[in-house]
Homo-oligomer: A and B are copies of this chain.
Amino acid sequence: MSSGSSPRTPRTHDQNPSYRALLLPDLKQMLETNNEQELAAFCAELHPVVIAEILEELDPPDVWKATRHSEIGRLVELFSELPLSLQEELVDIIERPRLAELIQHMASDDRIALLSRMDKDHVEALMPLIAQAERIDIRKQLEYPEGSAGALMTTEYASLPEDLTVRDALDRLRTMAPNSEIIYYIYIVDEQRRLDGLLSLRELILARPTARVADLMQRDVVSVRVTDDGEFAAQEIARFDFIALPVVDDQNRLVGIITHDDVIDILQKEATEDAYRQAAVEPIEDSYMETPMTTLWWKRSIWLGALFIAEVFTFSAMATYEHALDQIKVLAMFIPLCISTGGNSGSQAGTLIIRAMAMGDVKPGDWLRVLWHEIVMGIFLGLTLAAVGFLRAAMTPGKVLGDVDRWMFAGVIFQAVACICLWGTVVGAMLPLIFRRLGFDPGYASSPFVATFVDCTGIMIYLSIAEVWLL
């Protein structure tokens, strides 16, 4: 949850993203003259999201210069909306007492996201400057594994005991006056803070003031454990369309909540990671423009290198059929076509299944249905492409064909394309299911790897068929 996630809307109605282009020169002007009052006014005027989008365009020292005069509440809002990589750079610029104050006031999930990326020594140096209650909270939450519900949750939420009337409950809520929308679900806990029930603010508003919370509350509450995967928590929120989901420890004690806006972040991060795997890029943590060149080179070259080395086997596959390639020259001309047929049909089938698994439509137990489905599909797709291949092969110039029979050769291409397409489709569809069964992310079974495997086997299928008919 971000502290900027207040229900307030930006103080501008201008939805044209060019306001960034309009306001940035103003801001740069203020920075040059170092006009403290104007800068503070600028930072207070617009919605934190909008200001943060403008600040992103500046160098870290200028970001701090522009925001340092804001009052702490606004500073926290602005800081939390900045990209994590920029927050990390600012941490080295901001004087230590101010930084400690900032971290102390941040929403617990935003704070943990930053601290877990910071240098351990730096974090330890800050700790004595942070109030004890917050410090204990931070130490506890930093222990949860990265990406777990415990690491992603916010520890601010609205909770009440069950022995209250509706009127008392509303009065208590008013005195808590939580900072954000987390007031919309109220969690009912016992003396040990065990999660007993849930009441929405809507239900509370609509109930008689003398009704008892214990009689109104929903007793069976969907929750996740601190150790559960954050992605699972996100899926549960999406599944039930919740605004927030409670996080409990192993004794069912309420320790935090995950909110609807985190779901979007988690799901977008997942979608990006899937897309990267599909294109053989090791997931990068920051945005494309912010990632250092060397990191990007490393993350890209390891996969490209692995694929390249795998592809070297195509040479070995072809060397096995050297005799056929030597005797019938036209065979080499159709190798790229045969390779791409297998690669494309394989990556297509793979993506469909990976995506269907991500959406929960296909489970590993469905493998037999998927296999049958993809065999039928592979046959039909194969025949479709083979027909095109047959026509193209039949039009080969006589000079290139040499003494090979035109129709015999077209027949070989027909058979090869049909077989390779079927093979690619079945392999592409089955690999994600096998990967999941083996405990790997199915995304790793994605296009370039499927394609490389199918490339090699495709060459062998093609040249074997050619040997049978043409030698």
Please list the residues of chain A having a beta carbon within 8 angstroms of any beta carbon in chain B. 1-2, 4-5, 7-13, 15, 47, 49, 170, 173-174, 177, 181, 183-185, 198, 200-203, 205-206, 218, 220-224, 236, 238-243, 260-261, 263-264, 267-268, 271-272, 274-276, 278-281, 287-290, 293, 296-297, 300-301, 303-305, 307-309, 311-312, 314-315, 318-319, 322, 325-326, 329, 332-337, 339-341, 343-345, 347-348, 350-356, 359, 361-362, 366, 369, 373, 376-377, 380-381, 384-385, 388-389, 392, 397, 400, 421, 447-448, 451-452, 455, 459
Interface SS of chain A: helix
Measured CB to CB, the nearest residue on chain B to A8 is: B218
Contact status A288-B347, CB under 8 Å: no
Q: Which B residues are in CB contact (< 8 Å) with A271?
A: 267-268, 271, 274-275
Complex Cα distance, B170 from A223, in Å, reads 31
Return A397 CB to nearest CB of chain B, in Å.
8
The 9 closest A-B pairs by CB, nearest first: A279-B351, A7-B200, A5-B241, A288-B356, A314-B336, A287-B361, A241-B261, A271-B271, A332-B332
Return A296 CB to nearest CB of chain B, in Å.
7
Return A111 CB to nearest CB of chain B, in Å.
17
Q: Which B residues are in CB contact (< 8 Å) with A173?
A: 205
Q: Which B residues are in CB contact (< 8 Å) with A13?
A: 220-223
Complex Cα distance, B9 from A185, in Å, reads 11
Given contacts A239-B49, A260-B260, A381-B304, contact A278 B351 (CB under 8 A): yes
Complex Cα distance, B237 from A5, in Å, reads 10
Return A349 CB to nearest CB of chain B, in Å.
8
How many copies of the chain does the oligomer comprise? 2
Q: Which B residues are in CB contact (< 8 Å) with A242?
A: 7, 9
Given contacts A308-B388, A336-B455, contact A296 B377 (CB under 8 A): yes
Contact status A260-B243, CB under 8 Å: yes
Contact status A352-B279, CB under 8 Å: yes
Contact status B222-A15, CB under 8 Å: yes
Complex Cα distance, B202 from A300, in Å, reads 47
Contact status B200-A385, CB under 8 Å: no
Measured CB to CB, the nearest residue on chain B to A239 is: B49
Contact status A400-B268, CB under 8 Å: no
Contact status B300-A336, CB under 8 Å: no
Return A29 CB to nearest CB of chain B, in Å.
22
Contact status B240-A348, CB under 8 Å: no
Can you sample 25 A-B contacts with CB below 8 Å? Answer: A2-B241, A8-B218, A9-B222, A10-B220, A11-B220, A49-B240, A173-B205, A181-B200, A183-B202, A238-B268, A267-B267, A268-B359, A278-B279, A278-B351, A280-B348, A297-B377, A301-B384, A304-B341, A311-B337, A318-B332, A319-B397, A335-B335, A339-B339, A339-B340, A347-B448
